[in-house]
Amino acid sequence: MLPRSARLTESERFRLAVRRGTRAGSRALVLHWLPSDDVDASQVGFVVSKAVGNAVVRNRVKRQLRHLTREHLTELPGRGVLVVRANPSAARVSRVDLERDLVLGLGRLRSRGE
């Protein structure tokens, strides 16, 4: 689980990250990364739409993502705002695959930042 300080809670920043940020997609996930200096620490937010499934499925996906993101916080390319968006296929994917997709996306973000 992510500590509260690392959670993205402002809808304005969500909007900015999705609109202006660098994008990296994988099978189940789409990552948006926006470097930012006016945050104390990097913040991560999640978007899981109704297309993914019912409330139980959406909650499970969101919780698994929050858990995985916590373990990979150090792999972020610097300081900024990350938005993780789940595709409908995320509902059928196992936790291991979800982690693989997350690492893959983070790697692409880093290579693009350089």
Partner RNA sequence: UGGGUCGGCCGGGCGAUCGCGUCACCGAGGGGCAACCUGAGGUGCCGAGGAAAGUCCGGGCUCCACAGGGCAAGGCGGUGGGUAACACCCACCCGGGGCAACCCGCGGGACAGUGCCACAGAAAAUAGACCGCCACUCCUCCGGGAGCGGUAAGGGUGAAACGGUGGUGCAAGAGACCACCAGCGUUGCGGGUGACCGCAGCGGCUAGGUAAACCCCACCUGGAGCAAGGUCAAGAGAAUCACUCGCUCGCGAGUGGUGCGUGCACGUUCGAGGGCGGCCCGCCCGAGUGCACGGGUAGACCGCAGGAGGCGGCUGGCAACAGCCGCCGUAGAUGGAUGAUCGCCCCCGCUCACGCGGGACAGAACCCGGCUUACAGGUCGACCCAUUCG
Partner RNA sequence: GCCCCGGUAUCCCAACCGGUAGAGGAAGCGGUCUCAAACACCGUCCAGUGUGGGUUCGAAUCCCACCCGGGGCA
Residues that bind RNA (CB under 7 A): 1-4, 7-9, 11, 14, 45-47, 54-56, 59-60, 62-64, 66-67, 70, 95-96
Three-state SS string across 49-103, please?
Answer: CHHHCCHHHHHHHHHHHHHHHHHCHHHCCCCEEEEEEECHHHHCCCHHHHHHHHH
- Closer residue to RNA (CB): 68 or 104: 68
Smallest gap from residue 31 Cβ to RNA (A): 14
Smallest gap from residue 8 Cβ to RNA (A): 5
